[in-house]
Structure 1
Amino acid sequence: MNTGADPTEDPAMARGALARARADELRIRQSELAHGARSSQQTAQRAKARADEALERAISAHQAAAERHGDAGEAHRRAAAAHEQAALRADEVGADAHQSAAEHHRQEASRHDAAAVEQSAAEAFDIANRS
């Protein structure tokens, strides 16, 4: 049974472990700078590499979010269609309830579609701003 303790098996845990490691690295660097350490070409290159890595993670996150919103929009459209079919077979009270549910699902599908577009735009912005 997977307890979720292995970060190599759970992408969210892997991202969390990476974030904690980066936070530790930043705390160490902040302490070094507070104690008079100077920047060097090596530390500048490391900072640039970390910024590039963060941008790549952001691009991937936007892409994944856009895909999940697209999936959710499709699921809501399927649910709306199912409610519309059920409304055709229901009595008047049931038909009204199913039509209301179908409308709710169509609204949610539209909301997810808009969120997918926003995430895709954010991804495109990040890609355009790669160095």
Structure 2
Amino acid sequence: PEALDIQVEMPGGKGIMVTNPLQGPADVEKLDTSNPAQLVKDRLPHVLAALPEIKASLKKENRDVPLIGFSAAPFTLMFYMVGGNTRYNETMGEQWFEKYPEACDLLLSKLSDVIVEYMSQQVEQGADLLQVFEAMGS
């Protein structure tokens, strides 16, 4: 969500919270993913900068372990973006699929484009392998 300029908070013990969840299809239309590479560079530089630092630290400590890059998968991100928080995201996500199927398809496509770029840039910055987690796709 942060790559799409959607603010995420992680208050201790409360799970992930999206402070301003998407309200309807118009909000999805406004999400500009025309240049996912630039979105990732501009909005997630802290992640990209951390990877080479971690890699160097592992090497300095003579630790031969892989550096794992990761991302949530599109369904999980979508459910947070429409539900707002862990408590409501499953219900809201399901309601969105029923109420706005075309907007869901568009949102999942936009998220997929950004996730692919985000993970590609993690590899460029030193990730040895990648993990995609899907908490809401079952």
More helix by share: 1
Superposition TM-score, scaled by structure 2 size: 0.30
Superposition TM-score, scaled by structure 1 size: 0.31
Whose RCO is larger (CA < 8 A, sep 6+)? Answer: 2
